[in-house]
Amino acid sequence: MSQNEVHSLRRPDHVCGLSGYFACIWAVWLCIAAIPGGGAAAHAGVQPRMSHGAIPEIAARSLPSVVSITTRRIERNQFNKLVPRAGMGSGVIVDRKGYILTNNHVVQGFEELRVTLPDGRAFRADLVGGDRFTDLALLRIAGDGLKALPLGDSARLRVGETVVGIGYPLWIEGGPTVTVGVISGKGRSMEEADEPSEPVLHDLVQTDAAINPGNSGGPLLNLRGEVIGINTATMPSAHGIGFAIPINNAKPVMKVLLAGARIIRPSLGVAAVSVTPQLSFANKFPVERGVLVVRVESGGPAEAAGLRPEDIITRLNGEWVQDLHHLHAFLARRTSGDTVEVIVLRDGQLFATSAVLAEEK
């Protein structure tokens, strides 16, 4: 609906009576709700009404801000020869000064970073900083006429809400790809029982908007064209399941990195996985909840406190530890140097000890 049409509905002179006036006001409200950024969108939890052309309009406004990131480094192969290794991901411009938000795993360990805009311009990118724990990184390029996308409020997301994903999947030529889906779930965690050393991502947004390799680091948008998530992962064995980091989790990380600071987190010095009822049943554990220690870091706090692989952490400072998410949430409220009381279950017996938290490496 055009702006002129909206204005015409505001004129009550063609409607007789008070009831007709209120009907007109209601029609105006519905029309504004259909406009991204309109009056209804200002209310928490209210999604703009999706018109037939809403997605193309959002895509047209957003595409100039979604970039392709190509990475390169030199490493040795099995024959001890130096060979180049390349990677690819996506990113989103979040500041006109050239700051780009992406996934940490897209850029971590690579020596050369190249950013290409949809208009064909390419830039060498500098890594401002990264955070392995949240899988976020911030890059910067020096370019003119850059367009930044606005950041939304992921706390307002509702399950079933329509979202738009943009990125550069599967090395496909011809510019970014746009996909559409809904918010399938919130508060998801991803941990790999077979890879306990890998970062564990918490509080993720689940979506069925197609996310493929190469999409990592691209934006997930609401119908107001605001970034409400950073696409980060898929499940290879599943169909229609992708995950994004909520933008509200990214904002404090960006603030620290923009200030030129480094994100410091306390660590217990263990690689661990959540104890679930399924894992407990399969291994005949005496408890169905907790955190199973898989590996103890050499010289770390846990080793000094006497923790061992196969210990199950059940309590920290008297707080019950339900899973790895609870463990990480507990640590997030502490600082390096804090002493915590650790209760573990070992060979069917409770074992109490104290650990002095160290800075995460």
Active-site residue (options: 154, 216, 267, 274): 216
Catalytic: 216?
A: yes
**Burial of 194: CB neighbours in 10 Å, binned 0-12, 13-18, 19+:** exposed
Question: Strand pairing partners for 349?
Answer: 346
Q: Report the distance separating Cα 213 and Cα 198, nearest Å.
A: 18
Separation of alpha carbons 228 and 226, rounded Å: 6
Distance in Å from the first CA to the final CA of the chain: 55
CA dihedral in degrees (216, 221, 226, 230; nearest 10)? -20
Considering only CA atoms, which of 344, 348, 193 is closest in space to residue 279? 193
The answer to whether 143 and 60 are in contact (CB under 8 A) is: no
Distance CA 102, CA 124 (A): 15
Residue 323 falls in the annotated catalytic set: no
Q: Which of 108, 326, 101, 312 is nearest to 203 (CA)?
A: 326
- Tell me how far CA of residue 36 lies from CA of 7, 61, 160, 161, 352, in angstroms: 17, 12, 18, 14, 56
- Which entry of 135, 208, 311, 323 is annotated as an active-site residue? 135
The one catalytic residue in 62, 65, 68, 105 is 105
Q: Residue 333 CB: number of other CB atoms within 10 A? A: 9
Closest CA to 199 of 109, 273, 147: 273
Place of tokens 């989790």: 249
43 is catalytic: no
Q: Which residues are catalytic?
A: 105, 135, 216
